[in-house]
Amino acid sequence: MSLLLPLILTIAIEACVLYALRERRKQVYWALVVMNVMTNVPLNLYVQYVSYSLTVIVIGELLVILTEALCYRIVTRNWRQSLTYSALCNAVSYFMGALMLNLYQLLT
């Protein structure tokens, strides 16, 4: 459960970002799901069980942004759009996740 919830929330948040950017192609949303399974789970495993430091998180997020930008590039065939999608989706999902975690910790 500790990996499933962040994955589901990340996919939902990033799908909302893509929708707000007026993306309507189904293949982009499928890529979003596949990419997050491939990047979110390993990063969360590493952060939870190996090292939870700001440096690890920043480097991990940058690697995720680059990896997902490459995947979006395959689907969109547009580098600028791919980088925009990846950077915005990951920034919004990261900060929303941090906000939700802090609110949860405050309330418990």
**Domain extents for the chain?**
4-107
The mean pLDDT of 24-28, rounded to a whole number, is 97
Q: Please state the pTM of the whole predicted model.
A: 0.93
d(CA 56, CA 80): 26
How many other C-beta atoms are found inside a 10 Å radius of the C-beta of residue 53?
10
Report the mean per-residue pLDDT for the chain: 95
pLDDT of residue 1: 57
CA 65-69-72 angle, to 5 degrees, is: 140
Angle at Cα 66 formed by Cα 65 and Cα 72, nearest 5°? 85
Residue 48 has pLDDT above 60, yes or no: yes
| Residue 52: predicted pLDDT | 84
How far apart (Å, rounded) are the C-alpha atoms in residues 69 and 76?
A: 10
